[in-house]
Structure 1
Amino acid sequence: MIHLTKIVAAILVLLAIALGGYAWVLSRQPAKAPPVATAPAAAASSTARVPTFAVVVAAKPVAAGQAIPADAVRVAQLPINPAGAFTETAAVVGRVPVFDIGEGTPLLEGQLASGLAMRVEEGERAVAVKADEVMGVGNKVQPGDFVDVFVMLKSDGKDIDRTQARLLLSRKRVLAFGTASLDGLPSRNPEGRSNPQQQQQQQRAEAARTAVLAVPVAEINRLTLGESAGRLLLALRNPLDTALPDPALLAELPPALQPPAPRRGEPARAPLEGLDSAQAGLTAVDLATGGGAAARRLVADARASAAAAAPRPATAAAAAPRAGMEVEMIRGDRSETIRY
């Protein structure tokens, strides 16, 4: 019994010595630094970071009605991405703003000119004329087609002495016909894909009432006079057919307003063209007769015949014979008889 007690005491002593040595070893090691709380800092930095978007902005003020030059726009990183914004400068260079845009302002689709006006070439104007099924080739005319415009003028005893039909304008581009237009967006099916055939059927469901043509500004007077004095007819032509009538075969129609004559020593004035020709205008008589002196004389004779055939009141002054001579004076599209 005494021997067992000594053995247990010896084991406890050895265990105490071992624990003391382990404690001494631990005391000799350097103390470790406390762990750094990096996770909260990283979370805070990610929260402070704001996403940016590439947006085209004005690098300098841009005036309305003028094409945007390449040096007037740049791409900036903005914290907002407005609806209708652009990401590349090539998409806005050459386009025309509808109002002034200040420096640093994002360029949006709604700020730039669009629609049918952008389909009109320089020197042309979009002109609408009345249309129906017969005039529009049975409603087969579509935007983008090329047509010849014929006119039928009926004799009225005033400006038109004989009923005539002739080619008025040749190879004019159709910008719109009825509800169909070159700037119209294609209709979409439920899957979101374009369906041109369905679009054409929807556009032709309504009867066309107008046709919009791209006409050179100098020829608009012909079109407006032809529509007011007669009936227009569109003739559909193949777009590959580029034949045009020879303008040298017929004399140019004189303008309704004559420019002032050049002063002595000044060179002769060049024929009016473009906007100047449109400003000078055109008379219905010249459109119907070709503007020649002989043609004007035929119109004057037709007027005189119509006036002679018209019934006159049986008054004493009218019934009394008139002595003397008569001279007829023609001034433009007016005829006047002077008696003396």
Structure 2
Amino acid sequence: MINLTKILAAILVLLAIALGGYAWMLSRQAPAPIAATTAPSTASTKTQQAQVYPVVVAAKPLPAGQAIPADALRVERLTINPAGAFQDLTVAAGRVPVLDLAEGTPVMENQLVSGLALRIAEGERAVAVKADEVMGVGNKLQPGDFVDVFITLKSDGKDVDRSQARLLLSRKRVLAFGNASVDGLPSKSADKSGAQQAQRAEPARTAVLAVPVDEVNRLTIGDASGKLLLALRNPTDLSEPDPKLFADLPTALQPVLAKAGEPRRAPLEGLDRAQAGLTAADLVTGGNGPALRPQAAQARVASGAPRAAGPARTGLQVEVIRGEKSETVNY
């Protein structure tokens, strides 16, 4: 009995020693799985930190309102990829920033001019005129169409002595009509939203036309003096009136005459002609209204100037005195 007890005690001691050794072995091997588990996470973090994106940035300060030259941009690899940033230099070159951009600043879409202004050709201006169903061809006009602008003038006893209707401007491009414009035409797909349908259904109140800058005066005075009518035309019809058949309208401001010995100056064009302006009377009469005699030839000095003797005149004579000058009108 005593031997059996000793044997059991010895077995228990050996078992305890074995368990202790096993526990010691496990304690030595435990860090290895942890290190193996954390190693991929650390490598993934380093990979994320090392990831970069090509982004177009300003190579030098870019002033607002001036086209960006290609040599003013460069591509840098950044750890961030801003929304609206460019990856290609050729896409951003030539665009116009709306605010000053410092050197090294990423160039983004919302920092550049966009919209209708980019659809206007050089030398043109976008001009809005009042529109209604009749003037807008029954609201059938669409952005991108070409129209002729007619004007109707009713006699008012002042600038307009006779009622008339005529072509004012020919083949002008419609940039916008109502809420639709060439920079964002409503989608023609079947899944177009209800908001877009509502915009197209709303009656248009304005039409925006692309007009050469030297013809803007015609349109603005015509809109103020008479009633405009837009006539829709086929875009493939390129016919226009022959300018050689009609004399140019005189300008409201007369250019400075060339000095003696200087070559004769060319007729006003573009912005210079727009600056010179146009009068409503010349628009109505085509510049062939009643000629005004030079005031110096009409006026005679009233005070202290002897009147020249002449043959007796019959009929009614009226002397008109304006300040220190007077003139006699025979009826």
**TM-score range normalised by the length of the shorter chain:** 0.7 to 0.9
Q: How many residues align?
A: 271
Aligned with residue 296 of structure 1, among 290, 301, 306: 290
Percent identical across equivalent pairs? 65
Tell me the distance in 1 between the aligned counterparts of 2:216 and 2:150. Answer: 14
Q: Please tell me whether residue 69 in structure 1 is matched to residue 93 in structure 2.
A: no
TM-score for the superposition, normalised by structure 2: 0.75
Structure 2 counterpart of 1:296, one-letter code: P
1:199/1:243 Cα in 2 relative to 1: closer, same or farther (>3 Å)?
farther
Root mean square deviation of aligned Cα: 2.9
Match of 2:81 in 1: 81
Q: Which residue of 1 aligns with 2:138?
A: 138
Is residue 205 from structure 1 mapped to residue 194 from structure 2 by the alignment?
no
Asked whether 1:283 is paired with 2:272, we answer no
Shift of 1:283: 0.5
Q: Residue deviations 1:225-269, cap 9 Å, x none? A: 111000000000000000010001010001000012221212222
1:135·1:232 contact (CA, 8 Å) conserved in 2?
Answer: yes
- AA at the equivalent of 2:211: V
Corresponding residue for 1:272? 268
What's the counterpart of residue 258 of structure 1?
A: 254
Selected match of 2:218 from 199, 222, 229: 222
Superposed counterparts of 1:137-176, under 5 Å: 137-176=137-176
* Distance (whole Å) between structure 2 residues aligned to residue 216 and residue 185 of structure 1: 23
Conserved? CA contact 2:143–2:185, under 8 Å: no
Moved over 4 A (4+): 35-43, 193-196, 198-201, 325-329
Cα deviation code 1:147-206 (max 9, x no counterpart)? 0000001111111111000000000000000111112264597xxx8649x887433311
- Trace 1:171-210 onto structure 2 (pairs within 5 A): 171-184=171-184, 186-187=186-187, 195=192, 201-210=197-206
Structure 1 residues 328 and 182, CA, compared in 2 at 3 Å: closer, same or farther? farther
Look up the equivalent residue of 2:69 and give its one-letter code: P
Asked if the contact 2:319/2:326 (under 8 Å) is kept, the reply is: yes
Q: 1:151 to 1:185 in 2, by over 3 A?
A: closer
Q: Is it true that 1:47 corresponds to 2:49 in the alignment?
A: no
Secondary structure in 1 aligned to 2:250? coil
Mapping of 1:317-336 within 5 angstroms? Answer: 324-325=317-318
Structure 1 214/70 Cα, relative in aligned 2: closer, same or farther at 3 Å? same
- Using the alignment, how far apart are the partners of 1:275 and 1:338 within structure 2? 40
Determine if contact 1:57/1:105 at 8 Å carries over to the other structure. yes
Q: CA deviation at 1:325?
A: 4.8
Shift in alpha-carbon separation, 1:113–1:266, aligned structure 2, 3 A: same
**Which residue of structure 1 aligns with residue 230 of structure 2?**
234
Letter in 1 for 2:45: T
CA distance in 1, matches of 2:326, 2:244: 36
Establish whether residue 60 from structure 1 lines up as the match of residue 49 from structure 2. no
Q: 1:235 to 1:157 in 2, by over 3 A?
A: same
- Compare CA radii of gyration and give the structure with the larger one: 1
Which amino acid letter does the alignment assign opposite residue 242 of structure 1?
A: L
How far is 1:46 from its partner?
3.4
Q: Deviations over 1:57-107 (max 9, x none)?
A: 112221211111112212221111111111211221111111111111111
User: Which whole-Å deviations, capped at 9, do the CAs of 1:95-143 have from their partners, x for residues lacking one?
Assistant: 1111111111111111000011111110000000000000000000000
Cα displacement string for residues 14-65 of structure 1 (whole angstroms, at most 9, x for unaligned residues): xxxxxxxxxxxxxxxxxxxxx9967755643432331222211112221211
Instruction: State the TM-score, normalized to the length of structure 1.
Output: 0.73
SS of corresponding position for 1:296: coil
Q: Residue 297 of structure 1: CA displacement? A: 5.0
Kept in 2, the 8 Å contact 1:187–1:199? The answer is no
Q: Is the 8 A contact 1:59 1:103 kept in 2?
A: yes
Gaps of 5+ in 2: 1-31, 293-314
1:186, 1:194 within 8 Å by CA — same for their partners in 2? no
1:339 counterpart letter in structure 2: T
